[in-house]
A and B are shown apart, each in its own frame.
Chain A
Amino acid sequence: MTAVDPALKATSTTCPYCGVGCGVLATPDGSGGAAISGDPSHPANLGRLCSKGSALGETLGLEDRLLYPMIRCSSGAMEQIAWSDALDHVAHRFAHIVARDGPGAVAFYLSGQLLTEDYYVANKLMKGFIGSANVDTNSRLCMASSVAGHRRAFGADTVPGLYEDLDQADLLILVGSNAAWCHPVLYQRMIANKQRRGARMVVIDPRKTDTSEDADLFLGVKPGSDTALFSGLLVYLADNELIDRDYIARYTAGFDEALVRARAIAGSVAATALATGLSEQDVAAFFQMFAATPRVVTLYSQGVNQSAQGTDKVNAILNCHLATGRIGKIGASPFSLTGQPNAMGGREVGGLANQLAAHMNFTPPDIDRVRRFWKAPRIATHEGLKAVQMFEAIGRGEIKALWVMGTNPAVSLPDADAARDALKKLELLVISENVLSNDTVGAGAHVLLPALAWGEKSGTVTNSERRISRQRAFLAAPGEARPDWWIIGEVAKRLGFGAAFDYKSAAAIFREHAALSSFENNGSRDFDIGALSSVSDEGFDGMSPILWPFRFGDIEPSERFFSGGDFFTNDRKGRFVAPERPVLRTETHEGRPLRLNTGRIRDQWHTMTRTGMSPRLGAHLPEPFIEVHPDDAARYGLADGSFARVTTDHGQCTLRVVVSPRQQRGMLFAPIHWSEANSSSARVGSLVAPFTDPFSGQPEAKATPASIAPYEYVFCGFVLSRKPLKLPDHAWWARATVNGGLGYLIADNADLKGWSSWLRSVAGEELAEYSDFGGGVYRAASFAGDAIETCLFLGPARDAGDWGIVKELFAAGPLADDQRRMLLSGKPAQGLASTGPVVCACFGVGRTTICDAIAAGSRSAAEIGLKLKAGTNCGSCIPELKRLIAQSGTDHDHGKLVAAS
């Protein structure tokens, strides 16, 4: 968190990371940066920010920005081009391909990072005017199962709960959610409830996470067995007459069929235990807790969604809430935690291939209504291809032109190598981006269009509780970057649709979006913000965070859904859905004996194009890793801190091994954030199976059959550099931003003398060098004046040392003589102690410092906070602080996640 000078004017905006949608106050410093703090008046966070949000100020640099349109010229190189020429080219090529091959040959791939207005215009152009529904979004990888589950149960994609329910609940059930890392601000709200009101917490996850540290009950289910657990719960509730017969009778349909199916899946506590791999006691304890606690919120996230049975999992959960009438009530509701800042906004505009617009679908009345509203005679009349299928169609050559906006599918899609190869087949790949290079750009973009980034763009986003907030600009547009909606509108005009895309501002688009939401609605659709359809430009600028629905004529938004029924199905009744017996889409076998789970880490976001710019965020877990249970580690010969090659039917990665009892036996876990742009062999998307849920189209990203084998590196080390470097092809590497430049963690088997030559080739001949080739050590640095310019440390893999001190010297700028004297020792010069790897990213507090405080008597996270500030901002390191306290006095150190950090 950066200090804010109260004399400077702060802009209130929202954080661009997860779906919590925290309010942020950004105070520009006048030179391209900004001080960042939490907005105390925003209802999502009330002033709190997590580590990622706190570090937003470190991500505003323009070093890697795409600042003007570029086009691939005949030589194959990308060259700058005028906006008008770029737009003409895109429009001309799209028109040509549509004319030749029909509208099904083109597609848009959008992003939960886009603002609602951008999303709206893109969706309108493709579905309404080009006439194809091949508009999908990275939300498909994130939220699609929740959307499908909601629509099956509620008749609409409605999130019934509100954040205040998390404050009011007596039981919080987190299913497939590491909220402590992925939604830290909401998680801290839940912890506060636990502390203040004594709410209990159940965490259901195959993997022990920092979220499970605070759980009253942790249920380490077998992967993919959530449906069985909640089916068992439904049976238990019914058999013990703990259901709300009245609610079921008055407001719902399908209970009996659902119960029959649930009984077939998990008809008793014992059957549930068997199906989920849990103990009967734990299952019974969970059932009793749920049954005995009217105020229960069940939160679910990627562990539920990213599954080929994700939609059924969602419905299995919703069934239990419908059966007890615990929905849309204070402190009682199911609650989908969205992953992205505007996944909800994307869903509202209909930016998914199986939605049309404004929570309307591809039904004849909806199509007719939207056609009339948009005056769009060529409107698409059937669903388009969902992400995975879209890229398969690209791979088959059926889709010939793709426009990617604000996302990096070459990294994030399952079977990412295939996705990347597919991109190379396109006749036209247009990418609207902030960054000059990423894996998707590298996969053969033909046109790059510079879009505004966070801090520059202006519009709205919707968070997980249906709250629409303004995201506001506080920085001038750099270079020739433009709003996405402007870019799309300009192409639309050139395609001949000028009348429908003549927008002068984001406000104008928002008004049209609001008007569509209420168009012929009359309460028939959940999403209605008609009250905002005539908001003035000034009113839009000053708009406070507001919940939907906010129907035309309402003075206040109505806040809750479904406590009194009134669902959005034809008969206005909620639906119990009978799920299929849960079976993972793949099976393990001798060659692939393990299952690979994937997910986020605390301080990084998606493919790191933004969080990767922050030195603070890069410090927590700087290396891509694979977490393995100790028994599996022993079985496959893996040592903590060594390397392993992980192989699936789809790809291969080489990752640092973290042996952890928090991992389930037979399961592996790898973070998703690394790509070709920042690592040599850690693009985990390439490992993930592309099998999808039949309803949501969401891929099963958390259970890919995999094998693992040790991979030996003789040497490990790092490079620090002021500028990006091309590392030798033989080296394993992962890049992190450090103060003052870039850090590359490396491992290698090549001759150390070769590294000396390599360093000379990138840093010049004048090096300070330390070599003990016989001892396997080579370290060297080049200088600009008295400051380190480039620095390389390599040593025996088992004893590679710490880069903390060298990083400090690198960041320090000009070195004093004694610092330079000791630099290549990797040891502190006098008075310069290493603080160890960063645990608290907000205040940059290292593990050594924390352990020292513990040794000096701090016995709780709060005491550490008083002393060091650690854990007092976002709190996401508190579980780690507790672990360190628990570990103190023992030699065991499983908090040591990354050996070379």
Chain B
Amino acid sequence: MSESLVIVGNGMAAARLVDELAKVALGRFAIAVIGAEPRLAYNRVLLSSVLAGETASHEIELKPANWWRDRGVTLKYGCAVDEIDVGRRELKIASEESITFSKLVLAIGSSPLRLNVPGVDLPGVHTFRDSRDVDLLLTLAAAKKRVVVVGGGLLGLEAAYGLAKAGAPVTLVHLMDRLMERQLDAPAGALLKSLVEKKGINVLLNASTSRILGQSRVEGVELADGRCIEADAVILAAGIRPNTALARDAGIPVNRGVVVDDHLQTGADGIFALGECAEHRGICYGLVEPAYEQARVLAQHLAGRKAAYPGSVVATNLKVSGVGVFSAGEFMGTDRSEAIVLGDFRRGVYKKLVIEDGRLTGAVLVGDTTDALWYLELIRKRENIVGLRKDMMFGRPPATLAVAA
């Protein structure tokens, strides 16, 4: 009989881990996946496309049901895990039975931060995290409700874009002086703002939300500087917090996230964590790419192979409001770095490459992300780029393409 492996969470990290395990250790584990959301694992990144009407909800499923079946996975979705009993190696599932495990993987993601301001609990205050949120937002948009989105990060922008595209008048308020400040430098943020504004989204920067107005439901948002924005709904998208309660309650060491080592193992033997809920070397990644890298390492490790996760070079590579945005590495630069910058704002393009000691150490791209993967590869490989420097802004030289091919 195979060793039992239970994955808690049915998101992108879980799906990837199953996929990786099937490649390196097919049949070694009897795998069960237990997820709270009532549907097959889907690509959360594409929720904004669904919101924007660019993709149908069913099209974002990562794998069809038979894919899971073919890999012998017991899927239980729509089931929340209430408790982990580390000593008995057992999970308690809401109002149901218990499940025992030999190995446990936590892939339980994160939750939207809720602002600590008056009125945050009023009806009409929503978040944007899962497909149920999307359905709700679509309803708002269809009714042409005035929406304020709080938070100018990726999530907020996607919510704002989707709502605007679906027909709602949208104002996006952001605490910082530029959008996506953790991924973009000032010119990139400014360009993104102008591109977002072209989509009909009203953007307010340096806008601190001090309260949500309304008696019985949301009527508006008041900013710290006294400005008020009338609204029928407020979407909170001001950040995420790793889901750690389950682990913490089980006595598994938790910091901001569930603390894991280079094998993705938590403080409890045979219990692992990955994805947005995990904290590795002090970092909680909020992106899918590190989760995938972690899944690969964890699968190798579970298969008994030598593998270690050294951390990820964080890269953002996606479309924000229909605009390609990429950022990776030390894109803000340091005292010792130099920057190569290409800006054609009229064309909607800004690119910055950061170079230090003859190596590419960071990059920001807005509007033209054709070469993003090449830059990421250069950043990760830490290769000397002196010979490439002259032309690298304009694309991968044919010679390196040939090598890649």
A interface residues, Cβ below 8 angstroms from B:
766-775, 777, 783, 799, 817, 820-822, 824-825, 827
Identity of the chain B residue whose Cβ is nearest the Cβ of A772 in the assembled complex: B340
B interface residues, Cβ below 8 angstroms from A:
338-347, 349, 355, 368, 389-391, 393-395
Task: Evaluate contact between A783 and B368: CB separation under 8 angstroms.
Answer: no
Closest 8 CB pairs of A and B: A774-B338, A768-B344, A825-B394, A772-B340, A770-B342, A771-B341, A769-B343, A775-B389
Do A766 and B338 form a contact, CB below 8 Å, given A822-B394, A825-B393, A827-B394?
no
Task: Evaluate contact between A783 and B346: CB separation under 8 angstroms.
Answer: yes
Query: Which of B344, B355, B394, B395 lies at the interface centre, i.e. has the most chain A CB atoms within 10 A of its CB?
Result: B344
CB-CB under 8 A from A817, the residues of chain B are: 347
Report the Cα distance A827→B390, complex, angstroms.
11
Identity of the chain A residue whose Cβ is nearest the Cβ of B353 in the assembled complex: A772
CB-CB under 8 A from B393, the residues of chain A are: 770, 772, 825
Query: Which of B341, B391, B394 lies at the interface centre, i.e. has the most chain A CB atoms within 10 A of its CB?
Result: B394
Identity of the chain B residue whose Cβ is nearest the Cβ of A817 in the assembled complex: B347
CB-CB under 8 A from B395, the residues of chain A are: 825
CB-CB under 8 A from B340, the residues of chain A are: 770-772, 774-775
CB-CB under 8 A from A777, the residues of chain B are: 390
CB-CB under 8 A from A774, the residues of chain B are: 338-340, 355
Task: Evaluate contact between B347 and A820: CB separation under 8 angstroms.
Answer: yes
- Which listed residue, A767, A772, A821, touches B368 by the CB 8 Å rule? A821
Distance in angstroms from B137 CB to nearest chain A CB is: 33
11 inter-chain pairs at a CB distance below 8 angstroms, sorted by A residue, are A766-B345, A768-B344, A768-B345, A769-B341, A769-B343, A772-B338, A772-B393, A777-B390, A817-B347, A825-B395, A827-B394
Distance in angstroms from B134 CB to nearest chain A CB is: 33
Identity of the chain B residue whose Cβ is nearest the Cβ of A815 in the assembled complex: B347
- Which listed residue, B341, B343, B344, touches A820 by the CB 8 Å rule? B344
Task: Evaluate contact between B394 and A772: CB separation under 8 angstroms.
Answer: no
Report the Cα distance A775→B392, complex, angstroms.
12
CB-CB under 8 A from B342, the residues of chain A are: 768-771, 824
CB-CB under 8 A from A824, the residues of chain B are: 342, 344, 394
CB-CB under 8 A from A825, the residues of chain B are: 391, 393-395
Report the Cα distance A772→B341, complex, angstroms.
7
CB-CB under 8 A from B344, the residues of chain A are: 768-769, 820, 824
Report the Cα distance A805→B371, complex, angstroms.
22
Report the Cα distance A74→B8, complex, angstroms.
92
Report the Cα distance A770→B350, complex, angstroms.
10
Task: Evaluate contact between B341 and A770: CB separation under 8 angstroms.
Answer: yes
- Which listed residue, A766, A770, A799, touches B346 by the CB 8 Å rule? A766
Identity of the chain B residue whose Cβ is nearest the Cβ of A770 in the assembled complex: B342
CB-CB under 8 A from B391, the residues of chain A are: 825, 827
Report the Cα distance A716→B226, complex, angstroms.
54
Identity of the chain B residue whose Cβ is nearest the Cβ of A783 in the assembled complex: B346
Distance in angstroms from B350 CB to nearest chain A CB is: 10
Task: Evaluate contact between B343 and A772: CB separation under 8 angstroms.
Answer: no
Report the Cα distance A482→B338, complex, angstroms.
61
Report the Cα distance A825→B341, complex, angstroms.
12
CB-CB under 8 A from B346, the residues of chain A are: 766, 768, 783
CB-CB under 8 A from B390, the residues of chain A are: 775, 777, 799
Report the Cα distance A866→B332, complex, angstroms.
57
Distance in angstroms from A759 CB to nearest chain B CB is: 13
CB-CB under 8 A from B347, the residues of chain A are: 768, 817, 820-821
Report the Cα distance A770→B351, complex, angstroms.
9
Task: Evaluate contact between A772 and B389: CB separation under 8 angstroms.
Answer: yes
Identity of the chain B residue whose Cβ is nearest the Cβ of A825 in the assembled complex: B394
CB-CB under 8 A from B349, the residues of chain A are: 821
Distance in angstroms from A799 CB to nearest chain B CB is: 8
Report the Cα distance A769→B344, complex, angstroms.
6
Distance in angstroms from B55 CB to nearest chain A CB is: 25
Knowing that A766-B346, A768-B345, A825-B391 touch, tell me 12 more A-B residue pairs with CB under 8 angstroms.
Answer: A768-B342, A770-B340, A771-B339, A771-B342, A772-B340, A774-B355, A775-B340, A775-B390, A799-B390, A824-B344, A825-B395, A827-B394
Report the Cα distance A799→B341, complex, angstroms.
19
Distance in angstroms from B402 CB to nearest chain A CB is: 17
Report the Cα distance A774→B355, complex, angstroms.
10
Distance in angstroms from B360 CB to nearest chain A CB is: 13
CB-CB under 8 A from A799, the residues of chain B are: 390
Distance in angstroms from A146 CB to nearest chain B CB is: 54
Do A768 and B338 form a contact, CB below 8 Å, given A825-B391, A827-B394?
no
CB-CB under 8 A from A768, the residues of chain B are: 342-347
Distance in angstroms from A678 CB to nearest chain B CB is: 31
Distance in angstroms from A71 CB to nearest chain B CB is: 45
Distance in angstroms from A757 CB to nearest chain B CB is: 16
Identity of the chain B residue whose Cβ is nearest the Cβ of A820 in the assembled complex: B347
Report the Cα distance A792→B9, complex, angstroms.
56
Identity of the chain B residue whose Cβ is nearest the Cβ of A795 in the assembled complex: B390
Distance in angstroms from A179 CB to nearest chain B CB is: 43
Distance in angstroms from A555 CB to nearest chain B CB is: 73
Identity of the chain A residue whose Cβ is nearest the Cβ of B355 in the assembled complex: A774
Distance in angstroms from A824 CB to nearest chain B CB is: 6
CB-CB under 8 A from A771, the residues of chain B are: 339-342
Distance in angstroms from A893 CB to nearest chain B CB is: 21
Identity of the chain A residue whose Cβ is nearest the Cβ of B338 in the assembled complex: A774
Identity of the chain A residue whose Cβ is nearest the Cβ of B343 in the assembled complex: A769
CB-CB under 8 A from B339, the residues of chain A are: 771, 774
Distance in angstroms from A806 CB to nearest chain B CB is: 13
CB-CB under 8 A from A772, the residues of chain B are: 338, 340-341, 389, 393
Report the Cα distance A777→B395, complex, angstroms.
17
CB-CB under 8 A from B343, the residues of chain A are: 767-769
Report the Cα distance A836→B338, complex, angstroms.
32
Report the Cα distance A783→B347, complex, angstroms.
11
CB-CB under 8 A from A769, the residues of chain B are: 341-344
Distance in angstroms from B375 CB to nearest chain A CB is: 15
Distance in angstroms from A764 CB to nearest chain B CB is: 11
Report the Cα distance A770→B394, complex, angstroms.
10
Identity of the chain B residue whose Cβ is nearest the Cβ of A773 in the assembled complex: B338
Report the Cα distance A824→B390, complex, angstroms.
11
Distance in angstroms from A771 CB to nearest chain B CB is: 5
CB-CB under 8 A from B345, the residues of chain A are: 766, 768
Identity of the chain B residue whose Cβ is nearest the Cβ of A822 in the assembled complex: B394
Identity of the chain B residue whose Cβ is nearest the Cβ of A774 in the assembled complex: B338
Distance in angstroms from B393 CB to nearest chain A CB is: 7
Identity of the chain A residue whose Cβ is nearest the Cβ of B347 in the assembled complex: A820
Distance in angstroms from B326 CB to nearest chain A CB is: 16
Identity of the chain A residue whose Cβ is nearest the Cβ of B394 in the assembled complex: A825
Distance in angstroms from B233 CB to nearest chain A CB is: 37
Report the Cα distance A12→B5, complex, angstroms.
97
Identity of the chain A residue whose Cβ is nearest the Cβ of B346 in the assembled complex: A766
Identity of the chain B residue whose Cβ is nearest the Cβ of A775 in the assembled complex: B389
Distance in angstroms from B189 CB to nearest chain A CB is: 17
Report the Cα distance A777→B338, complex, angstroms.
12
Report the Cα distance A849→B368, complex, angstroms.
33
CB-CB under 8 A from A775, the residues of chain B are: 338, 340, 389-390
Identity of the chain A residue whose Cβ is nearest the Cβ of B345 in the assembled complex: A766
Report the Cα distance A824→B339, complex, angstroms.
16
Identity of the chain A residue whose Cβ is nearest the Cβ of B397 in the assembled complex: A827
Report the Cα distance A821→B390, complex, angstroms.
16
Report the Cα distance A783→B346, complex, angstroms.
9
Distance in angstroms from A338 CB to nearest chain B CB is: 50
CB-CB under 8 A from A820, the residues of chain B are: 344, 347
Report the Cα distance A770→B347, complex, angstroms.
14
